[in-house]
Structure 1
Amino acid sequence: MSFAQIFIAIWLPLGLVTVVLVLVFLATFPTSYDPYRKELIQLASPDGSKEKEESEMTAEEQIAAPKQLSVETSVQMVVLGDIGRSPRMQYHAASIAKHGGRVDIIGYQESEIHPDLLSSPLVTIVPLDPAPSGLQTSNKLLFLILGPLKVLWQVWSLYRALAYRTQPAKWMLVQNPPSIPTLAVAQLVCFFRNTRLVIDWHNFGYSILALKLGPSHPLVRVSQLYETFFSRMATAHFAVTNAMSAVLNEMSGITARPLHDRPPAHFQPLSKMDRSAFLDKLPETAQYAEDIKQRRWRLIVSSTSWTADEDFSLLLDALVIYSAKATTNTKLPKILAIITGKVTAWLSTEDYASLLGAADLGVSLHTSSSGVDLPMKVVDMFGAGLPVVGWNRFEAWPELVTEGVNGEGFGSADELAGRLLELFGDRQDHLEKLKRGALKECEVRWDDEWDPVAGKLFGLVK
């Protein structure tokens, strides 16, 4: 067969296919952000009336007519997880909208989202299609096979949402982890759409993967290299702790602005009357309400996502130790422990905030895969004026809790049991001191932290 025949039989068809694919790509190329284009958001009229020409309206109808809001800042927010269980990203969205920015939140919509976001004309929820259940597994060997297939599914659904299902935005704020495939897809879309990428570091993706595969597994090393490579190309970074900011700078040369978690306004201490009414109303506490009010029972609250960096057996073992002591010491109160989370008592946003305000003590079991992230549940507890005992064997713990002032730490089930025996037994005055410290801590709110850091970066706060 001659060269010409080979060319016609093989390379010409391949060339034609390539040309067609390029033309299709160019024809469907995602629109880019135009900094000179004025963006207007149509606000709904209070009475839901249809739009009319202004000349046809009465004075009252003109007042009630839909209005347009000029938007200078727009943000795509990426949560490759359940939006409802990503409170920090919801707080970001609420702050951006509060200052007049438009927000598209891209993520999985599996649980309740804060009602303020759902009602805001500046916030749009863009739900991702979940991966087929057949791609989910806890088996290590199957994970190596199904994991890449799940990533491919996520790549396509995320790219489609960012490039075609949403308007171009000035900024893209990405929650990390998960870093795979989020960072690569985000960088690609930002390049196409003239968008500036900001990474909000909650933890490190490779350190969480190490909990599943082990720190020496080759995929963990690959994950770390991937995370470092794509994160370096971002415009800016936020980190949840000073310690994480320092690690990012040392490990990757990244300068991340520390942006500590703080409680939003809906977490508040309860008055004595409101606490009493809530204890009577909540099904989990109703039958013990009077005993809790009289301190014959103590109410403790812990929140868990049942992940590898939360050893829930610590609390169970500590409660067993406490129970054994309480059988011989009748002065010790009984304990009602309420565990909230995905497979336990999942409460509405309002009820969860009230539960924290009604409790006597919060318990954090977060052990931190990286050592430099912090449990947001403790921030929520402080927002409700609730003192905390928590696992303290990691570097960033002192950035959140001042031991002896607003909380206490522990490093084993025996130590946790000891804390409970002290605070509910002979040292109840110390529990009152920790309560006062938590109430003092709750004075610092999310806006106080967000405005001078993220607000200034996005150009929303002068």
Structure 2
Amino acid sequence: MFEDLVSTEKFSNGFSLILSVILALSTFFTILLVTLPSQYDPYQDKPQKLIDEEGKEIKVKTKDGKEPLRWRQGRTVQVVVLGDIGRSPRMQYHALSIAKHGGRVFLIGYQESELHPDIVSNPLIKIIPLVPAPGFLRSSSKLLFPILAPLKAIWQARSLYRALGYRSEPARWMLVQNPPSIPTLAIASLMCFLRNTDLIIDWHNFGYSILALKLGANHPLVKISALYERIFAKTAAHHITVTHAMARVLKDDYGVPAQALHDRPASIFRPISPLERTQFLTRLPETAQYAQDLSHPSSKSSSKNTPWKLIVSPTSWTADEDFSLLLDALVSYSAAATSRTHLPNILAIITGKGPLKSHYLAKVKELNQQKKLLNVIVATAWLTPQDYALLLASADLGVSLHTSSSGVDLPMKVVDMFGAGLPVVGWGKFEAWPELVKEDVNGKGFESSEQLSEQLIRLFGKDDGEGGGLLGELKKGALEESGFRWDDEWDRVGGRLFKFIHV
């Protein structure tokens, strides 16, 4: 009898435990289902008013001048970049193009630097800022990277999940910049599954190739990153690339079809008149004291008769943009200009922010102390988008140091330079370079600091100051290139992909 009671009590306790577990799991899944983000429902795709944060209707004119514009979920796109939106011009241009066609945009990323003014003023575009990771997780230490990188990825995954699922409305499409791929592609794929959204990946490069610059091509994390990128590429409905070469790699190696959508400059980048150039150079702090020499190189009122040239090199101060190439070339040019008095002095303006900036500025200071830059002045600047565009249009030559970790991506900065009518010299030792620059027509490629120095001597030494010589020919080519614009390229690919334009 006692044994029967014990057995009954054990059964009762076991049953109670099982019941508790079932109840707990049921409660968990109920909460999970209730708190899951809302889905895009194509059957509820009805015209809706555009409402601001205060609950008031925003009236936007349609293309034919009528108002108010009504938007549909089927014309809503989440544009995602796990980086600074202000330093992601291509994603900003995507947002503007979608809005121009009447689409609603949720632009998601870090809001650290100034945005394109049309982004800020457009009522169809809403910024969803991501919460940045704590400072200690953003260390650039190679030694600490295997420890800090996973922690940073977890932080970013949580922030991205909340932004995509709960801080922005259901969207028909999600357009994601890659790289960074970790954790962006995983979270984006999950959220698209949960919200019934189609994922589009805009491939700027391959994330694993950038990681290889830091850790080496054979590092286990690089191999894991490559596999991760290949797996999540399969989850996307469509793929866009910045070059035909990258589209080929995706097709051959990843087994996914892609369309090339070449970068083109926005309207802010344009050639300017000599008067606009003089006015800008006079007011910009970095060029003000040299404005007269840059604007009137033969002026007798100058402190010296030696002419000046202005070169601009936008850089992110990272490993895939080797600033030492330009620095070594300027040292060689300075030595040549000392003996060849016909060569002009150079004012080199370096724009941008990045982790290696202080390292290279220390090198510049050291070279000045050693008097190795006697005929060259190197200055840095961080400019508004408007002033950056004017600086490119005011320069004599643009320099691109982008070395391409994958060999199939292209630097957006060169596109902007062409938009401003600025000829370019750049690192050209990669497959996709000829897709952008036509040799001796609108620019030149170099493969070493010695070759860059020779190009500077040749271009500036034979320029007659009135647009002649090879530099003048490159200028003509760049001005012709400035006629190709983003809107036309985007409509051809993006407009059809997002169903705004029907063939």
Q: What TM-score results when the alignment is normalised by the length of structure 2?
A: 0.85
Which stretch of the first structure deviates more once superposed, 130-139 or 207-216? 130-139
- CA drift at 1:146: 1.3
1:54 is aligned to none
Helix, strand or coil: the match of 2:71? strand
Distance change (3 Å), C-alpha of 1:411 and 1:9: farther
Amino acid at match of 2:315: T
Provide the rounded CA distance (Å) in 2 between the counterparts of 1:41 and 1:118.
Answer: 20
2:208 is aligned to 206
% identical aligned pairs: 62
- CA drift at 1:345: 1.1
2:491 pairs with 1:451: yes
Amino acid at match of 1:69: R
1:412 is aligned to 448
1:59 is aligned to none
Q: Deviations over 1:411-458 (max 9, x none)?
A: 111111111000010355100000000000111100111101011110
Helix, strand or coil: the match of 1:40? coil
- CA drift at 1:7: 3.5
Amino acid at match of 1:412: S
Which one of the candidate residues 423, 438, 442 is aligned to 2:478?
A: 438
Q: Deviations over 1:95-125 (max 9, x none)?
A: 0001100000111000001111111110000
Amino acid at match of 1:324: A
Contact 1:43 1:69 in 2 (8 A): no
Q: Deviations over 1:292-314 (max 9, x none)?
A: 11231100000010111000011
1:55 is aligned to none
Amino acid at match of 2:198: R
Which stretch of the first structure deviates more once superposed, 183-192 or 423-432? 423-432
Distance change (3 Å), C-alpha of 1:170 and 1:318: same
Provide the rounded CA distance (Å) in 1 between the counterparts of 2:283 and 2:49.
Answer: 41
2:408 is aligned to 372
Provide the rounded CA distance (Å) in 2 between the counterparts of 1:393 and 1:350.
Answer: 31
2:353 is aligned to 342
Amino acid at match of 1:33: Y
Q: When the two structures are aligned, how many residues end up with a matched partner?
A: 445
Q: What TM-score results when the alignment is normalised by the length of structure 1?
A: 0.93
Matches within 5 A, 1:153-172: 153-172=155-174
2:389 is aligned to 353
- CA drift at 1:68: 4.9
- CA drift at 1:13: 4.3
- CA drift at 1:407: 0.2
2:24 is aligned to 17
Contact 2:463 2:472 in 1 (8 A): no
Provide the rounded CA distance (Å) in 1 between the counterparts of 2:193 and 2:18.
Answer: 31
- CA drift at 1:196: 0.6
Provide the rounded CA distance (Å) in 2 between the counterparts of 1:9 and 1:190.
Answer: 39
- CA drift at 1:6: 7.0
Amino acid at match of 2:35: T
2:50 pairs with 1:42: yes
Amino acid at match of 1:310: E
Distance change (3 Å), C-alpha of 1:8 and 1:139: farther
Helix, strand or coil: the match of 1:111? coil
Instruction: Select the structure of larger CA radius of gyration.
Output: 2
Q: Deviations over 1:118-166 (max 9, x none)?
A: 1111000000000111212222231111111111111111111111111
Amino acid at match of 2:140: S
Contact 1:171 1:197 in 2 (8 A): yes
2:439 is aligned to 403
Contact 2:462 2:470 in 1 (8 A): no
Unaligned runs of 5+ in 1: 52-65
Helix, strand or coil: the match of 2:143? helix
Contact 2:86 2:114 in 1 (8 A): yes
Q: Deviations over 1:246-280 (max 9, x none)?
A: 01111111111000001111100011111111111
Distance change (3 Å), C-alpha of 1:133 and 1:367: same
Q: Deviations over 1:17-43 (max 9, x none)?
A: 322221111111211112232142437
Contact 2:441 2:474 in 1 (8 A): yes
Distance change (3 Å), C-alpha of 1:9 and 1:315: farther
Contact 1:83 1:109 in 2 (8 A): yes
Distance change (3 Å), C-alpha of 1:9 and 1:307: farther
2:36 pairs with 1:29: yes
Which one of the candidate residues 323, 329, 338 is aligned to 1:318?
A: 329
Helix, strand or coil: the match of 1:273? helix
Give me the CA root mean square deviation: 1.9
Distance change (3 Å), C-alpha of 1:234 and 1:335: same
Unaligned runs of 5+ in 2: 1-5, 58-66, 298-306, 355-379
Distance change (3 Å), C-alpha of 1:285 and 1:22: same
Which stretch of the first structure deviates more once superposed, 286-295 or 312-321? 286-295
